[in-house]
Amino acid sequence: MKRLITVSISMVIILFINLFELPVSAQDAEMYEVGSANLNVRSSPNHQAPIIGKLDKGDRVKVYKESFGWVQTYYGGQEAWVASQYLFKPSSSAKAAGYTQKNLPKAQNAATLTSKDKVFAAGTSNLNVRSGPSHDAPIIGQLQNGDKVRVYKEFFGWVQTYYDGQEAWVASQYLFEVNETNQTQVSKKTSKKNTKNTQAEKVESTKKDEQKKREANTASTGSLQGYNIVIDPGHGGKDPGSLGVNGVFEKDIIMRTADHVEQKLRQAGATVILTRNSDYYISLNERVRLSNLYHTHAFISLHYNAHPLMRMNGIETYYHSGEKNRDLASNIQGSLEQNVSLQGRGIKESNFYVLRKNRFPSVLVELGFITNPGDLSMAQSEDYQNTVANSIVEGLMNYFN
């Protein structure tokens, strides 16, 4: 009888353990802190999933898995998901790595625990410095174009630094790496750069006749014959890009759109080079290398936007700097705004790698927000993608004319 009771108790204990055992060891879980108030906790990694609770700023959660912008935790005893962009590692992690507020001057503002010798610079003016890795976090300062920062941590599109002695966060897309050791040599190299520019101008002047012929052909026949156009479908392969409504990946919509753009450009007589023609990964450096290899007359990187606020919508075009880049962005954005029913958000100067490293006129086009149900529904339609393709062709013709 005692043996039977013992076996029964053992079975109950095993059943209890199985019912409440977590799928991932607690030792594998990482602790994160919430950087926003009223953060929704959902039953699955989707903005449409049922809300099962809320977290307040400063709450801490254990993260067991990550999935395309979402992290999995437990809430009320059940599996739950939280948007990762509103979470950040507690500041104790920075101190544990040997970085303290005392030994970091105000000028050092940025973020990756890779190499403390890496310095980054702001690529835009009035760049907000926030108290947490979220667009909703309080603004505690601003960086100006060229301000240099040192990077200690990186987290889902944000980098962590220190500002006025406190932990701070900056959106990483507006930063670019600089070589701190070569800063004093910039002025000494000016004459060489000027020489290279002069040589480039000479080479360019020898091609003026050829350029005039192309422009005359475009104006008279509406043709892009003689022009090399690089179409760069963003992301791909292991890099899915943003996650939209209903779990749609940015990379998939981009590729379908790129196919339409390629077809319309070829019909207009252009020589079209795709940086990728199916779902595979290609580095930013390789995208730029292809553009420079083919002596591109225009490089167009195609993307779809995303934002935590579902109401954000519209199309916008980015350029790095320079009159030619701005003119290309203005013509393409203008044509899109005339033909596409989505809201026009204008052109903006930015420091994206594929733009700043490109030797030829280049733009990056955001063709709508896949986190907005209306934009996404339109972006997935054949009519929209054809209209986008025709608008890009029209914008290029206006630019070259």
Kindly report the average pLDDT of the chain as a whole number: 76
Q: What percent of the chain has pLDDT over 90?
A: 40
Confidence category of residue 123, pLDDT binned at 50, 70, 90 = confident
How many Cα neighbours within 13 Å face the side chain of 52?
A: 16
> Does position 47 have pLDDT exceeding 80, yes or no?
no
At 283 the pLDDT is 92
The two domains 21-88 and 92-181 share their CATH topology (first three levels equal) = yes
For the chain, the domains span 21-88, 92-181, 207-400
CA 168 from chain centre, in angstroms, equals 20
pLDDT at 238: 92
pLDDT digits (tens, 9 = 90+) for 274-293: 999 889 999 999 999 989 88
- Check residue 190 and give its pLDDT: 34
- The whole-angstrom separation of Cα 259 and Cα 368 is 17
CATH superfamily, domain at 207-400: Zn-dependent exopeptidases (3.40.630.40)
Q: What is the pLDDT of residues 80-121, one digit of tens each?
A: 888 876 777 765 333 322 222 222 233 333 233 333 447 788
The residue behind tokens 């101190």 is 95
2.30.30.40, 2.40.160.40, 1.10.10.10, 3.40.50.1370: which CATH number matches 21-88? Answer: 2.30.30.40
Q: Is the pTM of this model over 0.85?
A: no
Three-state DSSP state, 250: helix
Q: What is the pLDDT of residues 227-255, one digit of tens each?
A: 999 999 999 999 999 999 989 999 999 99
Residue 1, token pair as written in the block: 């009888």
**pLDDT of the residue at 324:** 93
Whole-number Å distance between alpha carbons of 326 and 346? 11
pLDDT-derived band at 294, boundaries 50, 70, 90: confident
CATH of domain 92-181: 2.30.30.40
Q: What is the mean pLDDT of residues 141-157?
A: 79
Q: Can you give the C-alpha Rg of the chain in angstroms?
A: 25
Structure tokens at 256: 């379908």
150, 118 contact by CB (below 8 A): yes
Q: Is the pLDDT of residue 156 over 70?
A: no
Mean pLDDT over 24-33 rounds to 62
